[in-house]
Amino acid sequence: MVKKRIVIALGGNALGKNLHEQMLAVRETAKAIVDLVEEGHEVVISHGNGPQVGMIQKAMDSLIKNEPQYGKVPLSVCVAMSQGYIGYDLQNALRETLLERSIVKPVSTVITQVIVDEKDKAFENPTKPIGSFMTKEEAQVLMDKGVKVIEDAGRGYRRIVASPKPVDIVEIDTIRTLLDAGQIVIAGGGGGIPVMVRGNRLKGAKAVIDKDFASSTLAQLIDADCLIILTAVEKVAIHFRKPGERWLSDLSINDAKAYMKEGHFAPGSMLPKIEAAVEFAESAKDRFALITLLEKAKEGIAGKTGTVIK
């Protein structure tokens, strides 16, 4: 097998919904990632943070109600916090799994800032769900307070914030250096900390960048061969959960664009994954994206399962 430079974008199902679930989930996640490392692939890991960043912001909001002297904590700082504590659990689970297989390889988490354009129209139209799912009644309480909420793909209600597209990654040289030194790197957690450039200053933005688009940008900037987007299904389907449902093993860029135009993929769910996969696959010759389950990543790279976009 040809060794590849891979960016793995972990979905929320790989991290659990709270701290206890996360500590258990990362153990299984680490096994799937180390399977690829064991085969000689270079690996960079990014991850989502929807439940975690929502939990952190809720906790911070509760704190200042009782202790107002601490002041409101910006969403960008909450994203940074989530990168730190998810990275802590994930890198330790990876280290333990590597040593169990007699592999000595350092793992580092990079607190990653991602530059966005302050003129991005996404700031005018928030669409990115964050935090835990709510009932309609719970959502209505927030909406009465002016908080933007949407129904999320039939799974319940969630808060929404702006989701601008990533432009560049501030710490990209650090990520490249660690990767070239043979380390496993965890970077771009939660889509990265969204920042806007103001002269020499980086100002945090009230937004959450979609982790799949950030992963695509990261993969392009480190000249990766493959972007693996891990999700809750083994393959991508058209007519999903409808008559005529069809699972796809190979998907050309043109067909993917046609299916998106026809509305086959749910916004906030599979659609951004397909968009990010297409963006990476068409960014350079011989690059491809794979969408599959976490536990099928090794088989997917071997061409045995998953949906390959190229």
Of 49, 128, 131, 298, which residue is the catalytic one? 128
Of 4, 12, 92, 105, which residue is the catalytic one? 12
Beta bridge partner(s), residue 113: 193
Of 273, 296, 298, 310, which residue is the catalytic one? 273
310 counts as catalytic: no
Of 131, 192, 211, 296, which residue is the catalytic one? 211
211 counts as catalytic: yes
Of 4, 13, 31, 204, which residue is the catalytic one? 13
**Quick one: how far is CA 100 from the chain centroid?**
27
Residue 235 C-beta-side C-alpha neighbours within 13 Å: 18
Residue 9's Cβ-count burial label (10 Å; 0-12, 13-18, 19+) is buried
- Is 242 within 8 Å of 262 (Cβ atoms)? no
31 counts as catalytic: no
125 counts as catalytic: no
Question: In angstroms, what CA-CA distances link 41 with 1, 3, 26, 226?
Answer: 10, 5, 20, 10
Helices (H), the chain: 19-38, 50-66, 75-100, 136-144, 172-180, 211-221, 253-261, 271-281, 297-301
DSSP helix/strand/coil, 193? strand
121 counts as catalytic: no
Q: Which residues are catalytic?
A: 12-13, 128, 211, 273
